[in-house]
Structure 1
């Protein structure tokens, strides 16, 4: 229950950041950089009486129906919650600010800040194994019937939307929309990797027993003891291998520094760790 609440908390933080980026940067400047948001912005140009928030909600409902028909109901409660709440958040902001209110009308600044906020928000939502629906569904349908990889299918859909904005608005807005598509993918990947990064650590120490005890008892983690042999000395030795969070690694580093200043420690980034003590591999 606690884990679920934590997941929904972070999904809420994610869609609120995303809603802020859409409301104050992307939508009022007509930067249709992919997704249901982009489609809603394009439709809103022809039907301005229907807000972007309402159009996003209608489009997502239609896409969910299409998904149930063509690819089954493989969309969890977290995705439905994020999708509907995102539209609700933008609609709520529309009540307090004019629909076309923008913090800046400079297209470059709007693209940079709007895409940055959108990428951070989406990255947080995706990191909780959820999504905001939308063109993910179109990409899945394309993947099912044309066997195009999901990543490529999503990129194709978003680029089509961005190119359409160049035709409907003008070439300059279209170019900024394409820039937004490229930046968004990079930011989402960076955020997901950053949130999931752990430290992969190899340790050679004469105080091995103390280090093992500290990892198990103080950090509540485990480690693997590997047999080794010095290439230069030919001496048999033991090597410890463990994976820790960033804060845990700092504690371990300080402990090793205190008990064995001659220890040999190798540290590298582990961008995804699945299994006991970390993310449940069954969710992937």
Structure 2
């Protein structure tokens, strides 16, 4: 079930990357990093070479590198994502050939293109894969330096933006540099939002019922602390648990119906490591 869910979200991510690249970045010749950026540069010099086909060729070399250095699971997912993106762009080229910019405002199209692509890339990276190309290099940088994925993408794509400045001109090159910076920021933000949790502390006279709901309904655990209330000098049971946003909303609604006088504090957590969450690496 989890594998099917991962494939579904990877397909969503690849579609977003392909859509943003083909409809917003490519028509304006904005080479905002990655193999898509390299393909756009080559396509500008040699218009008869399709962007999708160029991307497929580059992916073969780089995904082999990813399999060797990072591992076969990452490599397999990356192959799936990278070729899906290339195939989708190749398919879009057949359906909507000779696509033109939506407007004369390149900056607006850059922002929309990068926003769409960055969201897709963030989803894919969060699933332990990459979109291929220079993102494989970024993943390798992330693995050995612990620099965030977004910043690693920025490092890996600097070369592409420099090439874009030379081939496409300073104006296009500056747009490409801005695009890479925006892209790295969006990727990190998407990954943080997808991995955000709520640390919830609950004090209630119905503690046992709340504990059972957390364990049986939400399939999470909890930690129990005992504290003394300063106002009444009485003993209090404090239930601490960590939930995703959907689980937290269910718990809050349950407590509201069970004990509307319960005391609850909530903190946003950007990363949780250990059993039931991400592995400690």
Call closer, same or farther: CA 1:193–1:224 in 2, change over 3 Å: same
Change (3 A) 1:76 1:214: same
Is 1:41 aligned to residue 40 of structure 2? yes
How far apart, in 2, do the equivalents of 1:129 and 1:73 lie?
Answer: 11
Cα deviation per residue 1:6-63 (whole Å; 9 max; x = unaligned)? Answer: 1111101110111010001101111111111111111222222111111111111122
- Give 1:142 deviation, angstroms: 6.8
Write the mapping of 1:185-196 to structure 2, written as runs, cut at 5 A. 185-196=184-195
Q: Using the TM superposition, give the Cα deviation of residue 148 of structure 1 relative to its aligned residue in structure 2, in angstroms.
A: 9.5
Residue matched to 1:157: 156
The alignment partner of 2:271 has SS state of: coil
| In 2, Cα distance between equivalents of 1:44 and 1:111 | 18
Unaligned runs of 5+ in 1: none
CA deviation digits over 1:137-175, x for unaligned, max 9?
A: 334677899x79575553233122113212211222111
Once the two structures are TM-superposed, the CA of residue 105 in structure 1 deviates from its matched residue by 4.2
CA distance in 2 between counterparts of 1:7 and 1:107 reads 34
1:271 CA drift (Å): 2.5
Q: Deviations over 1:161-214 (max 9, x none)?
A: 113212211222111111111111121122222223222100111221222222
Match of 1:184 in 2: 183
**How is 1:15-34 mapped onto 2 (pairs within 5 angstroms)?**
15-34=14-33
Partner of 2:202: 203
Residue deviations 1:255-279, cap 9 Å, x none? 32233333211112223344554x4
Verify the 8 A CA contact 1:119 1:184 in the aligned structure 2.
yes
Q: Residues of 2 paired with 1:46 and 1:148: CA distance?
A: 37
Partner Cα distance (1:263, 1:274) in 2: 28
Question: What is the TM-score with the length of structure 2 in the denominator?
Answer: 0.88
- d(CA) in 1 for partners of 2:139 and 2:258? 54
Q: Tell me what 1:108 maps to.
A: 107
Cα deviations by residue, 1:88-140 (Å, 9 ceiling, x for unpaired): 01000000112443333421121011001101111111121111111133346
The alpha-carbon distance between structure 1 residues 190 and 150, as it changes in their structure 2 partners (threshold 3 A), is closer
Aligned to 1:172: 171
Residue 281 of structure 1 corresponds to 279
Q: CA 1:116–1:29 in structure 2 vs 1: closer, same or farther (change >3 Å)?
A: same
Deviation at 1:84, TM superposition (A): 0.9
| Whole-angstrom CA distance in 2 between matches of 1:68 and 1:254 | 45
Contact 2:215 2:221 in 1 (8 A): yes
Contact map agreement 1:53 1:90 (CA 8 A) in 2? yes
Which position in structure 1 is the counterpart of 2:235?
Answer: 236
- Does the C-alpha gap of structure 1 residues 140 and 220 become closer, same or farther in structure 2, counting only changes over 3 Å? closer
Quote the residue 1:124 is aligned against. Answer: 123
SS of residue paired to 2:182: helix
1:220 aligns with 2:219: yes
Query: Which secondary structure state, in structure 2, belongs to the residue aligned with residue 76 of structure 1?
Result: helix
In the alignment, what sits opposite 1:60? 59
> Where does the alignment leave 5 or more consecutive residues of structure 2 unmatched?
none
Once the two structures are overlaid, the 10-residue window that deviates more, 54-63 or 268-277, is: 268-277
Which whole-Å CA distance do the structure 1 matches of 2:24 and 2:257 have between them?
Answer: 51
TM-score by length of 1: 0.87
**1:246 and 1:142 mapped to 2: Cα distance?**
31
**C-alpha spacing 1:18/1:95, structure 2 compared with 1 (3 Å):** same
